[in-house]
Amino acid sequence: MAPRPPLHLAVALDGAGWHPAAWRAPDARPRDLFTAGYWRDLVTEAERGLLDLVTIEDGLALQSADPFRPDDRTDAVRGRLDAVLVAARVAPLTRHVGLVPTVVATHTEPFHVSKAIATLDHVSLGRAGVRVRISARPDEAALFGRRAVPPLDPRGPLAPDQEQLVADLLDEAGDHVEVQRRLWDSWEDDAEIRDAATGRFIDRDRLHYIDFIGRRFSVKGPSITPRPPQGQPVVAVLAHTEPVVRLGARVADVVLVTPRDAADAARLVALVRREQEAAGRGGETVHVLADVAVLLDASPAAARDRREHLDELAGDLVPAGYTGDDAHLVTGTAAELADLLLEWQDAGVSGFRLRPATLPHDLEAVTRALVPLLQDRGAFRQGYATSTLRGHLGLARPANRYATA
């Protein structure tokens, strides 16, 4: 039998954890959520576990139990630090793990985002990425005052005008990523001469206008930040629906999906591959990582007891009990989770983004219990062999589109 390819593993960091009552867990640190030390500790723990990357959640409005409108509650974590700035703060304190902050494309300028992510790549010596998402919430649009967004709830069938709104937002996000990518290439690798003797710092012929014109913005370029060490930082998209899968297959290096079982994982991988082929990217490596929420303990009973206690603390925030929201939830042991991950890997996914129910408990269960089990089965690395995020993911450093022979 051919050796199993190693899994790619990521963790999704969000506040005190993904369970609404995570901030009330015995080992939670609610007083530290807005400190640099808190995020340093989480990211260095992820690196201790040899994980490929961490994603850092972000948004443009306060968190809400309802993902499509504010809930005005005060009994769950509300407020967060800027994900890009958190990643930049912890970058010098780590050496290997990839750093992928979330950016909302809908209300941000791609020039600014491109510069910020390029800066993160320089600060981290080649470990930056960006997870791009859209916003269809009226309250978030009102914060900027540039456009009106009608109320939208994608949990049910969408009216034709709502479908068009989502399609327009996704097209805009695609343009947003395209501008970022062009700007990352707008400086050739050797554009900086830095010759003090002749007084030449930049070769102007190796800086390029990108001349992008789209429906929502036009960007001439070039960037003011030299080309990132990776050439192109890694772009990720979380795809819950087929239109978002289409976006991810068109513009991303990593598509995150939320299957419910191995058969669903195989279906979603096949969908990404079809859309990738339709986008003319059939020969490129696009990783499909499955999101899985995790609540882990030494025994299945201990995990169930902990979940029931958290559900009691959360009250009507989880009226039917915590289910992992949009992702499959594993409540059990690291060994049970390892079995599921390998089963789903056989369905075609490249790896997983794990969502710890509480922090640091479930993150440490991943790094200190799950990872050794996967290593013993030959399914995960024994150490970092590469120093960049693209290297961890087996992605080559791309050539600059504007460079001439």
DSSP string covering 103-118, please? EESTTS-HHHHHHHHH
Indicate whether 195 belongs to any domain: no
The residue whose two tokens read 């600059």 is 400
405 has pLDDT over 50: no
Give 17-34 pLDDT, tens digit per residue: 999 999 999 999 999 999
Pull the structure tokens for residue 356.
Answer: 């710890």
User: What per-residue confidence (pLDDT) applies to 148?
Assistant: 80
DSSP string covering 350-374: -EEEEEESSTTHHHHHIIIIIHHHH
pLDDT of residue 1: 55
Torsion angle, CA of 188/189/192/194, rounded to 10 degrees?
A: -160
Residue 275 banded pLDDT, cuts 50, 70, 90: very high
Check whether 203 has a pLDDT greater than 80.
yes
pLDDT band at 4; cut points 50, 70, 90 = confident
Confidence at residue 40, expressed as pLDDT on a 0 to 100 scale: 98
Structural domain includes residue 130: yes
Closest CA to 11 of 48, 37, 60: 48
Q: Using alpha carbons only, what angle is made at residue 196 by residues 195 and 202, rounded to the nearest 5 degrees?
A: 45
Cβ-Cβ contacts under 8 Å for 175 (sequence gap 6 or more): 110, 212, 214, 215, 216, 217
Specify if 59 maps to a domain. Answer: yes
Domain that holds residue 140: 8-154+230-392
Confirm whether 172 is domain-assigned. Answer: no
Measured CA to CA, the distance from residue 38 to residue 354 in angstroms comes to 19
Task: Answer yes or no: is 331 within a domain.
Answer: yes
219 forms beta bridges with: 212
**For 141-175, how does the pLDDT look when each residue is reduced to its tens digit (9 = 90+)?**
998 988 888 877 666 677 788 888 899 999 999 99
Instruction: Decide if 317 is inside a domain.
Output: yes
pTM above 0.75, yes or no: yes
Domain-located, residue 66: yes
Residue 216, in any domain of the structure:
no
Instruction: Kindly report the number of other CB atoms within 10 A of residue 280's CB atom.
Output: 9
pLDDT of 160: 83
CATH code at 76?
3.20.20.30
Q: Count up the domains in the chain and report the number.
A: 1
